[in-house]
Structure 1
Amino acid sequence: MYIVSQPKGLSEAQNQVLAKEGAAVYPPGYLRFLRRFGEGTYRGWMNVQLPDPEVLKPFAEYGLWEHDEDSPITEQQIGECIAIGTTVDGDFLAVHPQTEGLLWLPRHAEQVKAISLQAREQEDEDEEAYALVLDEIYRQVYGSSQEVGVYYEPWMGTRSHLFLRLPPAQDQLSLPELAGACRAEFPPDFFIENAYACFLFYRKLGGYVRLNYAYQQEVALFYEQDAQQAFAVMKEWLMSKGCAPIS
């Protein structure tokens, strides 16, 4: 698993809170993953967060989901759930102290889904075990596996970004051509490319360059605040190829 920037370990207070938690209620490797990598976003999809017993309490009264004899929890039990993650689309991943397995509370569907995981030998010994759990959750929820590479973005609180536009012009590079030129000029430490986007990851940036093929003109530069020199070099190069910052 590629780590986008240097992980920020949990604070002593956060570790003390986790030490009091009953590990049995959480999925394999979850607590160990948090201690090693901190909170962050996995594969641009799932936000891995500290256990939150408060965020779902108001949802017990919203009537967002239908409940019948096949529902894994009652509407009242929603308020007793502990959220351990959210997707970038607003779905919740949670556990309930009296319910076995994981719970998926979708933003755009009417049924709460139970997610069962197969037991793994030595599943809590590997710091990346929870990444496999998240991949299995994705497969069960969406019916397919993610095709993009495996990476994790720790939430450092020191990330900056710059958005640029590559306007169409005669003899101008397309975004895929720009991505190829960037890879040749600055070989990335890790990259992902598909029909919709290209991500070029650089440890010296503590971030990446994202070229949005779907929008055809958008280029985004994500970097840590202490990587100003590397950022300046990359920004100058992108602008020399016709990119212009978006104010």
Structure 2
Amino acid sequence: MYIVSEPRPLSDGQNQVFGREGATVYPPGYAKFLQRFGEGTYRGWMNVQLPDMEVLQPFAEYGLWEHGEDCPITEQQIAECIAIGTTVDGDFLAVHPKTAQLLWLPRHAELVQAISLQSREQDDEGLYAEVLDEIYRQVYGRSQEEAVYYEPWTGKRSHIFLRFPPGQDGLSLPELAGMCQASFPPDLSVENEYTCSLFYRELGGYVRFNYAYQQEVAVFYEEDAGWAFSVMEQWLLSKGCLDPTPS
């Protein structure tokens, strides 16, 4: 698994959260994953967070999900759930400590889903990445094809958005991404029909070419990677990218 920037392991105080409920409440490897890498985003999809006992309590009164015979929990039991992650689309991953169930509470659907995990003998930080991949397959019915990476939330991340106007020397955004990859070979690349992200350890971040919007280029970097960011920014500007920030 590629780690985008320096991990931010949990503090002693944050580690005490697991002592209150007991590690057996949570999915295999979850606690050790957080203890080593800290909170962050897995594969641009799942925000891995410390257990939150309060965030789902108001949802017990919202009537967002159906609670028929096939629902794994009642509407009142939502208030007892502990959220351990959210997707970038707003779905919740949670555990219900009294029934020991791992639950998926979708934002744009009406059915709460119980997640059944295959039993595994090992219990290390790498295991939770496998658990998240298994959850993705169960929820979406397919596997993620792109590389495996994790973005720790360091609190020192900066970014800049640039605009690549159409007609710049006849280049398309995918062609610009290819030129960038050739000039600055990345440590990891993730590309699909919607986006291309080139990861660099010197940046502690990545350059993202937003194919879906056709004109957006973003650079995400750690504050102490100013020199590497400056080199990348100047290269992008030299190729026709524009800073949309008013002067």
* Residue of structure 2 in register with 1:207 after alignment: 205
Cα deviation per residue 1:28-71 (whole Å; 9 max; x = unaligned)?
10000000100000000000000000000011111111101111
**1:231-242 to 2 correspondence within 5 Å?**
231-242=229-240
Give the Cα separation in 2 of the matches to 1:201 and 1:188: 6
Give the Cα separation in 1 of the matches to 2:75 and 2:169: 60
1:152 and 2:154 aligned = no
Letter in 2 for 1:116: S
Contact persistence 1:3–1:151 (CA under 8 A): yes
Cα deviation per residue 1:97-152 (whole Å; 9 max; x = unaligned)?
12233101111111111010010121x1x321100000010100011111221110
Q: What's the secondary structure of 1:208's corresponding residue? A: strand
Cα deviation per residue 1:156-201 (whole Å; 9 max; x = unaligned)?
1110100001101252321111111111111111111111111100
1:12 and 2:12 aligned = yes
Contact persistence 1:27–1:101 (CA under 8 A): no
Q: What's the secondary structure of 1:6's corresponding residue? A: coil
Letter in 1 for 2:209: L
Give the Cα separation in 2 of the matches to 1:26 and 1:190: 31
Give the Cα separation in 1 of the matches to 2:42 and 2:235: 29
Contact persistence 2:93–2:105 (CA under 8 A): yes
1:83 and 2:59 aligned = no
1:114 and 2:114 aligned = yes
* Residue of structure 2 in register with 1:65 after alignment: 65
Q: Taking structure 1 as the reference length, what is the TM-score of the superposition? A: 0.97
Q: Percent identity?
A: 76
Contact persistence 1:67–1:75 (CA under 8 A): yes
Q: What's the secondary structure of 2:227's corresponding residue? A: helix
Q: What's the secondary structure of 1:34's corresponding residue? A: helix
Contact persistence 1:60–1:75 (CA under 8 A): yes
Q: What's the secondary structure of 1:244's corresponding residue? A: coil
Give the Cα separation in 1 of the matches to 2:54 and 2:85: 13
Gaps of 5+ in 2: none
> Cα distance, 1:20 vs. partner?
3.3
Contact persistence 1:115–1:137 (CA under 8 A): yes
* Residue of structure 2 in register with 1:29 after alignment: 29
Q: What's the secondary structure of 2:101's corresponding residue? A: strand
* Residue of structure 1 in register with 2:241 after alignment: 243
Structure-2 change in CA distance of 1:111 and 1:163 (3 Å): same
Contact persistence 1:172–1:242 (CA under 8 A): no
1:191 and 2:213 aligned = no
Letter in 2 for 1:25: V
* Residue of structure 1 in register with 2:101 after alignment: 101
Equivalent of residue 230 in structure 1, options 214, 228, 231: 228
Q: Taking structure 2 as the reference length, what is the TM-score of the superposition? A: 0.97
Gaps of 5+ in 1: none
Contact persistence 1:40–1:153 (CA under 8 A): yes
Give the Cα separation in 2 of the matches to 1:40 and 1:4: 10
Letter in 1 for 2:36: R
* Residue of structure 2 in register with 1:143 after alignment: 141
Give the Cα separation in 2 of the matches to 1:10 and 1:148: 28
Cα deviation per residue 1:187-239 (whole Å; 9 max; x = unaligned)?
11111111111110000000000001111111000000111111000000000
Give the Cα separation in 1 of the matches to 2:21 and 2:98: 14
Give the Cα separation in 1 of the matches to 2:173 and 2:166: 10
Letter in 1 for 2:125: E
Q: What's the secondary structure of 2:109's corresponding residue? A: coil
